[in-house]
Amino acid sequence: MVNLTIDNTQVTVAKDATIFDAAKSVGIKIPILCHDKKLHPFGGCRMCLVEVEQMKGRLIPACTTPVTEGMIVRTTTDEIVKARKLVLELLLLKHPLDCPVCDAAGDCDLQNLTYEYKVNCNQFSDEKFNHAIDYENPLIERDMNRCIHCGKCARICDEIVSYGAYTFINRGIEAKMGTPFDGPLSCEFCGSCISVCPVGALISRPFKFKARWWALNKVKSVCSYCGTGCQLTLGVKDNKVLTTVYDENQGFHNGQLCTRGRFAYQFVNSDNRLTTPLIKKNGKFVEAGWDEALKLVSEKLGAAKGSVGALTTAHLTNEELFLFEKLFRGTLGSDNIDHSAGYAHAALTEGAQKAFGTVTSPSEIADIQKTNLLLVIKTDAYETHPVLGFEINLGVKRQGVSLRIVSDKKGKISRLPGAKTSVHKPGTEIAFVNALANVIIAENLAVAGVAGLDQLKAALADYTPEKVAAVTGVAAEEIVALAKEYAAAEKALIMLPIGLGYPGHDAALAQAVANLAILTGRIGKEGSGLLIMGEKNNSQGAADLGIYPKNGGLKGAAIIDGAANGQVKALFIAGENPVVSYPNRKKVEAALEKAEFVVVSDLFLTETAQFADVVLPAVSFAEKNGTFTSVGRRVQQINKAVKPAGLAKSDFEILNDLNAALSGKRYGNVAEVFGEIAATVPAYQGLTLSGLGDEGAVLPVAPAAKLNAVAAPAVPAAAGKLALVTGSALYHSGTLSRFGEGPMYVCGDAYAELSEADAKALKIEEGDAITVKSDVGSVSLKAKVGKRLPAGVVFAPYHFADASINTVTDGAAVTLVTVGK
Amino acid sequence: MIMPLIKGLQITLSHLFKKPVTLQYPDERPQIAPGFRGLHALKVSHENAKCVACYLCPTVCPAKCITVEAGEDANHNKFAAKYEIDMLRCIFCGYCVEACPVDALKMTEEFELANYKRADFTFTKDRLLEKK
């Protein structure tokens, strides 16, 4: 620690702190334009100049000067104020004074400082810039005339997002922030650059001219897309969510968001929202009142009792899921309850359950940056959880984490410094991981005294590197080297994304990777272990609250089958869209068509809701209170920001009403149910809603590690056929992001990605319409040709309703397809 | 006792011979003082309203009677797609004129704002545009 004096205040800070950090720690504000707490110091704007007693004679930039013992710093003297005024005058020389039409006004660092330092005239005069403004991009509008050259956009894109879309081009007065070859912006559209821009040079186009910053009501919430659990601040005006507001102090991610978090909020106020209950009469939906609709639903559910099937989405809050379980398992006595098609949560509910005796993964998000070696299963970890991807970027680039990836294709994280990707044949993950375990045991790298080691050794005897090399297509030496590296690392963390797009990431794979962590004694240690990344914002909560069959009930896909064969008499679907996201669309559609009684509660009249007998309008995360449990077991609160659309009710109210109508208990409010969760679910013990605060709470976990040998499934192969693997597109999450406008601007159509070799062989070019055909069906998609795929592999995201990929898949990890024009 | 009464009647009497101050409105029209704050008008320049929809007037308005909605025109410039003043709420303080950074708003000498229907007191952009 270092002691210094700033403006007569004694400050003690760590020795790697800068004067700026030290001043901030005691609440002394030093004005700055080119700094964000997530970025490396830059020293570009010269606003943070301070006077240091020991370095008299010149002014020192506070943001790049490290503190030294006994330093005496003054942050505001006449000389400093004069210097800062000069800096502002020079900036305003080129900066257009178009504050009345600039969306940044009110939240503009330059405007605020100009006001604070009373810069009302300029001793210099010059022409303004005359750069062309990029109006073409649907999400990010770039007006480089307003740019003050702080470089924050380029640095955040490079340091955290690791994309590098911007750089300074030209020199001197000609310098400007440009894109490669000064062309249009083509990036991940995460909007991080907009969030850090101190002026209005980069603005959000969907929010352009919608409202002034000061008129927005800022409501803290949690993103409702993926399982990362990013905190959001919603900008609300006139009962509408108009934008997301950047707050660098929010969450583990410091306000950093991805495309869908930042630009896909529009579904909340979409004109297509359901506003009234609908009842199907003579094949047509007729608007109905809540009383009529709920009466009909409760009658049918009451009649079906134990043969009710219930599917929910993991987008619901913990409290809603609790009521869901109470209603269907408790009041109605049916065990046919599930979510995420039954397979997308199995890694937690079956895999982690068997390996650790708990349905959660033993590690948390903070471990990513504390580890020495990250083993990521599938590069898609970045696509499903982009902000965890940023954590990987930061870990690799700042903390020197070695990144090893086991994947069926390369991806963005494969390009990180020092990253090694072992590209295996699709569907051979378990064989690969088993081989790693085999090597660890064979080389005596396993920690001594692990229970069940001998059984595992015997069970994995067949998974020698040589044999597995033949199956996976990865050289035996590479497998051995990876196993040794993993075992040798002091701390090692495995990341396993799960979701509807990855049927292969099931309980068996979770157990296989858990074996690696257990063998090497990584469980329960900081920066080590296994992080299973649930797909949806509350996947972890759904697992915790037991939203899966526990006593031999039907699983997700089986519930759909049950609806077709009469085993399930009434089907309740809360927010799930099986027609698009569950395997085999034709089968799901036929089942819903045949089903006796289907109720859907959702925000929109989805493809699934079309088949319903009763449709109940539900509300989005912005219209209700509650809690979500994210990856790494963090429970966080969401706050109601806007009133429900039309007559829509939250699933909390719907389920509560139904439960009461079926003579179950009626709960008072969200806090009461949270109290009930805290009392009945062991992990949530002792939590209170008010005690969660802004930061939320990380649930405790006590894993009882146990080795379980799993056998690798046989991978189908056929000559002349390509292996189709599904997954997530970077801009989308589940089927909900289709209703958020942002992602649809940049990724609006279903596509299939082919390797260059296959595309060449099939004479397919980027953008061609192609037909993908399997035993199940065929679908016409847009072709994309990518360098990242190995020959023989086709990738397709699953989010889209038109030409949905589940038309050709049937729940297998790999689907053999033929591709043609 | 009698003296104050006589004094009072004296004033009354003197007024009988003075020119009356009452204006025979509407036959006679008042002389409007400079700086009078009457009905608002949106100034026009190059055949378009000067207003750039900066929202400063609704922000500063103490009566919350101004509603602005910004739009983006063909040249990507900001303009007021909607500009409405609820005259029933307006207190004619003139802060809106003072706040306007582009001198797009003024207050005219028009004070005859009586009307028959509540809706007629909502002055839309068309009605507010300066008449030349």
d(CA A566, CA A739): 33
Residue in chain B closest to A213 (alpha carbons) equals B55
**ipTM value > 0.90:** no
Q: How confident is the model at residue A579 (pLDDT cuts 50, 70, 90)?
A: very high
| pLDDT tens digit sequence for A741-768 | 899 999 999 999 999 999 999 999 999 9
CB atoms within 10 A of CB A475: 13
At residue A358, φ and ψ (nearest 5 deg) are -150, 155
> How far is A245 from chain B, CA to nearest CA, in Å?
19
Q: Which two structure tokens, joined as six digits, stand for A50?
A: 């301070």
Q: Which residues in A727-760 are b (16+ Cβ under 10 Å) and which e? A: bbbbbbbbbbbbbbbbbbbbbeebbbbbbeebbe
Q: How confident is the model at residue A59 (pLDDT cuts 50, 70, 90)?
A: very high
d(CA A203, CA A193): 9
DSSP secondary structure string for all residues of A148-178: ----HHHHHHHHTS-----EEES-GGG-EEE
> How far is A98 from chain B, CA to nearest CA, in Å?
10
Instruction: Find the length of chain A.
Output: 821
Contact A635, A628 (CB under 8 A): yes
Q: How confident is the model at residue B131 (pLDDT cuts 50, 70, 90)?
A: confident
d(CA A643, CA A197): 31
The neighbouring-strand residues paired with A634 are A698
| pLDDT tens digit sequence for A63-86 | 999 999 999 999 999 999 999 999
How big is the CA angle at A239 (ends A237 and A240), to the nearest 5 degrees? 70
Q: Which of B48, B64, B76 to mutate to test the interface with A (most CBs of A within 10 A)?
A: B76
Is residue B47 scored above 80 in pLDDT?
yes
Three-state SS for A305-365 is: HHHEEEEECCCCCHHHHHHHHHHHHHHCCCCCEEEHHHCCCHHHHHHHHHHHCCCCCCCCC
Which residue bears the tokens 């650059």? Answer: A193
Contacting residues of A for B53, CB less than 8 Å apart: 101, 209
- CA dist A343 → A287, A317, A339, A498, A695 (Å): 35, 20, 9, 9, 31
Question: A410: which residues sit within 8 A by CB, 6+ positions away?
Answer: A379, A421, A423, A787, A788, A789
Segment A89-108 shows an average pLDDT of: 94
Mean residue pLDDT across chain B: 93
Model pLDDT, residue A719:
82
Cis peptide upstream of residue B26 (ω within 30 degrees of 0): yes
d(CA A37, CA A18): 12
At residue A743, φ and ψ (nearest 5 deg) are -60, -30
Model pLDDT, residue A56:
86
Contact A23, A67 (CB under 8 A): no
Question: A812: which residues sit within 8 A by CB, 6+ positions away?
Answer: A503, A583, A716
For residue A449, count CB atoms less than 10 angstroms from its CB and return exposed for 0-12, middle for 13-18, buried for 19 or more. Answer: exposed
Tell me the Ramachandran region of residue A149: left when phi exceeds 0, alpha when psi lies from -120 to 50, beta otherwise: left
CB–CB contact A100 B70 (8 Å):
no
Is residue B119 scored above 80 in pLDDT?
yes
**B100 annotated as belonging to a binding site for a ligand:** yes
Contact A615, A597 (CB under 8 A): no
| pLDDT tens digit sequence for A141-156 | 999 999 999 999 999 9
Starting at the edge strand found earlier in the chain, the sheet holding B66-72 runs B66-72, B78-86, B122-123
> How far is A210 from chain B, CA to nearest CA, in Å?
7
Model pLDDT, residue A731:
94
> Which residues of B, range 38-97, sit inside 8 Å of A by Cβ?
52-56, 58-59, 70-72, 76-78
| pLDDT tens digit sequence for A432-441 | 999 999 999 9
Is residue A450 scored above 90 in pLDDT?
no
> Which residues of A, range 90-119, sit inside 8 Å of B by Cβ?
99-101, 105
Model pLDDT, residue A532:
95
Model pLDDT, residue A300:
94
Question: A760: which residues sit within 8 A by CB, 6+ positions away?
Answer: none
d(CA A500, CA A490): 33
Is residue A528 scored above 90 in pLDDT?
yes
CB–CB contact A215 B102 (8 Å):
no
Q: Amino acid identity, residue A431? A: A
Q: How confident is the model at residue A242 (pLDDT cuts 50, 70, 90)?
A: very high
Q: Does A208 touch chain B (CB under 8 A)?
A: yes
Q: Please tell me whether residue B79 adopts helix, strand or coil conformation.
A: strand
> Which residues of A, range 737-796, sit inside 8 Å of B by Cβ?
none
Residue of A234, A404, A225, A442 lying closest to A314 (CA atoms)? A225
> How far is B25 from chain A, CA to nearest CA, in Å?
42
Between A716 and A241, the more confident residue is A241
CB–CB contact A212 B54 (8 Å):
yes
Residue in chain B closest to A135 (alpha carbons) equals B76
> How far is B79 from chain A, CA to nearest CA, in Å?
9
Question: A586: which residues sit within 8 A by CB, 6+ positions away?
Answer: A776, A777, A807
Q: Which of A97, A101, A133 to mutate to test the interface with B (most CBs of B within 10 A)?
A: A101
Q: How confident is the model at residue A720 (pLDDT cuts 50, 70, 90)?
A: confident
Contacting residues of A for B58, CB less than 8 Å apart: 215
CB–CB contact A210 B70 (8 Å):
yes
Contacting residues of A for B71, CB less than 8 Å apart: 209
Residue of A351, A369, A643, A361 lying closest to A505 (CA atoms)? A351
Contact A530, A621 (CB under 8 A): no
d(CA A498, CA A227): 10
The neighbouring-strand residues paired with A724 are A794, A815
The neighbouring-strand residues paired with A802 are none
Q: Which two structure tokens, joined as six digits, stand for A259?
A: 């495309």
Q: Which residues in A347-376 are b (16+ Cβ under 10 Å) and which e? A: bbbbbbbbbbebbbbbbbbebbbbbbbbbb
Model pLDDT, residue A337:
95
Q: Does A132 touch chain B (CB under 8 A)?
A: no
Q: Please tell me whether residue B85 adopts helix, strand or coil conformation.
A: strand
d(CA A612, CA B112): 59
Mean residue pLDDT across chain A: 94
Starting at the edge strand found earlier in the chain, the sheet holding A72-74 runs A9-13, A2-6, A72-74, A49-52, A60-61
CATH numbers and ranges of domains, chain B? 42-132 (3.30.70.3270)
Model pLDDT, residue B5:
93
| pLDDT > 70: percent of chain A | 100
| pLDDT tens digit sequence for A633-689 | 999 999 999 999 999 999 999 999 999 999 999 999 999 999 999 999 999 998 999
Q: Output the CA torsion sign for A604, A608, A611, A616.
A: negative
d(CA A740, CA A613): 26
Segment A233-243 shows an average pLDDT of: 95
Q: Which of B54, B72, B76 sits opposite A100 (nearest CB)?
A: B54
Q: Which of B59, B70, B102 sits opposite A209 (nearest CB)?
A: B70
d(CA A322, CA A547): 8
> How far is B71 from chain A, CA to nearest CA, in Å?
7
- CA dist A703 → A228, A497, A519, A698 (Å): 21, 20, 14, 15
Q: What DSSP designation does B121 have?
A: G
Model pLDDT, residue A245:
94
| pLDDT tens digit sequence for A787-812 | 999 999 999 999 999 999 999 999 89
- CA dist A346 → A433, A540, A555, A559 (Å): 18, 11, 10, 16
Residue of A372, A348, A382 lying closest to A258 (CA atoms)? A382
CB–CB contact A100 B77 (8 Å):
no
Is residue B132 scored above 80 in pLDDT?
no
Contact A629, A541 (CB under 8 A): yes
Do the strands B48-49 and B78-86 form a parallel or antiparallel pair, or are they unpaired?
unpaired
CATH numbers and ranges of domains, chain A? 2-76 (3.10.20.740), 278-339+541-684 (3.40.50.740), 346-533 (3.40.228.10), 722-820 (2.40.40.20)
At residue A110, φ and ψ (nearest 5 deg) are -65, -45
Q: Which of B50, B51, B55, B82 to mutate to test the interface with A (most CBs of A within 10 A)?
A: B55
Contact A706, A354 (CB under 8 A): yes
Segment A304-311 shows an average pLDDT of: 92
DSSP secondary structure string for all residues of A510-546: HHHHHHHHHHTT-TTSTT-EEEEE-SBTTHHHHHHTT
Do the strands A402-407 and A373-377 form a parallel or antiparallel pair, or are they unpaired?
parallel
| pLDDT tens digit sequence for A364-377 | 999 999 999 999 99
d(CA A117, CA A430): 63
d(CA A360, CA A374): 19
> How far is B57 from chain A, CA to nearest CA, in Å?
11
Is residue B54 scored above 90 in pLDDT?
yes
Model pLDDT, residue A771:
95
Segment B52-61 shows an average pLDDT of: 95
| pLDDT tens digit sequence for A174-226 | 899 999 988 999 899 999 999 999 999 999 999 999 999 999 999 999 999 99
CA A200 to chain centre: 27
At residue A818, φ and ψ (nearest 5 deg) are -110, 140
At residue A780, φ and ψ (nearest 5 deg) are -100, 125
| pLDDT > 90: percent of chain A | 93
Segment A119-133 shows an average pLDDT of: 92
CB–CB contact A100 B56 (8 Å):
yes
Contact A413, A392 (CB under 8 A): yes
**B65 annotated as belonging to a binding site for a ligand:** no
CB–CB contact B101 A99 (8 Å):
yes
Q: Does B101 touch chain A (CB under 8 A)?
A: yes
| pLDDT tens digit sequence for A591-624 | 999 999 999 999 999 999 999 999 999 999 999 9
